[in-house]
Each structure stands twice: as structure tokens, then as C-alpha cells.
Amino acid sequence: MIAAALAVLPAAAAPVQPRETLRAEVGPGFTIFLRHPDGTAVTHLEPGEYEVAVEDKAIDHNFHLLGSGVEQSTPVETPATVTWTVNFADGQTYRFQCDPHATTMRGSFTVGTVPQPPPPPIVRRLSATVSAVAISMRTFSGAKARVVAAGSYRIAVRDSAKTQNFHLTGPGVNRKTAVAGTSRATWNVRLRAGKYSYRSDKKRRLSGAFTVR
């Protein structure tokens, strides 16, 4: 009989239980905390509904909790004891602070899976030089470039020859300085696997090559 009565209860009638009751505390000194019930600081939470039991013990501070879908705060001028029910969403970062002292009394925590920004691309360096009698492509350490890794490069080009130029060709790259006059330039290029060669367009003997892989 009891089993039959339970069976007809719709699942939706089950109350949502908060995952946890977090403890927020500010004051009376210049301190602000958001802690788990065991006393450890909240740095990361699973997404979902939480209760936040707030003890604002100060007449010159407040506890302000903010982030995606959450905006709660206690008053600055009076102490307060309140409990908020909040929903922390996946992939978000939430902050808490005392508004009058937001640069020093603050904290934050992440919820669920927070996307990490992609690492900045590595830009390697090469230096290209041409004079009236020599041409070279060197690595950052000063060694002649023979085999380098594929990727983004910043090439410092120094053309100190009045009647020669530096001309780099290879997969996806065709850059050159002017034959007439000297110049300095920075080329940002993407070197792909393959063979690259450089030369002066005015003197066949001034040439070199390197491999990218």
C-alpha cells in the first residue's frame, strides 16, 4: 500500500537539495572569507545550487558575491546575517568582495570546467644579413641556420649592401629587401616544413639554404 502510493509520486516533486552550505564571513576587521563547512577556502565548485550563509560582522564592510547569474550583497553600514540560495553555472568564475575595499578584500573561485586560454604561440628568432661579400641566415645563438623547427619566426633583416639584397623564398614565403640602398627590417613569417633558400638577386655566389621540419 505504501509502495503503491510512493510509486505515483512524480519525480519532479522531489525538492532540489543544495549541494552544500558555504560559509561567507566579513569583518569585523579587514578580512573576508568564503569557506566550505570544514573551514577550507572555496576555490573551485561543481556547478549547481548552493546555500551561502553570510555573516557580515562589520559596520564598514560588506559581502558582495557576483558572477554569471549571481548578484548578492549585504549592506555596508550594518551587520547582517543572511542565507542566500544561488546557482553557480558551469565554466564560470565568481568573485566576492567588500565593495568599499574591493582591491584588497576580495576572492574568487571557478565552477565546473573553466576553459583555459590557448597558450601564446612561440615566436622564434632568426637574423638575416647581407653585405657586399657575404650573406647569412643565423639562429638566435649566432649559428648558421641549417635545420630549424617549423613555426612562427621573427627575422631581423640587415641589408648593409648598397647593390645587393636579401631575398628569402620557400613554402609560403617570398620576401626581399631592395637591391639599391641599405635597409633594416623585421619580417614576421611562418616557416613550414620544406627547403628555404636565400640569395642576393644581384650576385649568384651570395646564397644559402636551410631546411625546416
> Long-range pairs for 29-33 at CB < 8 Å and ≥24 separation?
30/61, 30/101, 30/104, 30/105, 31/105, 32/61, 32/63, 32/96, 32/97, 32/98, 32/105, 32/106, 32/107, 33/107
Point out which residues bind Cu ion (CB under 5 A).
61, 98, 100-101, 105
Nearer to Cu ion among residue 73 and residue 165 (C-beta): 73
* Least distance (Å) between residue 85 CB and Cu ion: 25
Strands, sheet with 32-35, edge to edge from the N-terminal-most edge strand? 32-35, 21-26, 48-56, 80-88
CB of 82 to Cu ion, least distance (A): 17
135-139, strands of its sheet edge to edge: 135-139, 123-130, 151-159, 183-191
Which is closer to Cu ion, CB of 42 or CB of 105? Answer: 105
Closest contact distance (angstroms) between CB of 92 and Cu ion is: 24
Give me Rg for the CA atoms of the chain: 32
Nearer to Cu ion, 75 or 194 (CB): 75
Provide the edge-to-edge strand list for the sheet that holds 173-176: 147-148, 203-212, 194-200, 167-170, 173-176
Query: Which lies closer to Cu ion via its Cβ, residue 97 or residue 200?
Result: 97
Provide the minimum distance between the beta carbon of 31 and Cu ion in the complex, in angstroms, as a whole number.
9
CB of residue 83 to Cu ion, shortest distance in Å? 21
Question: Residue 170, Cβ neighbours under 10 Å: how many?
Answer: 19
Nearer to Cu ion, 62 or 177 (CB): 62
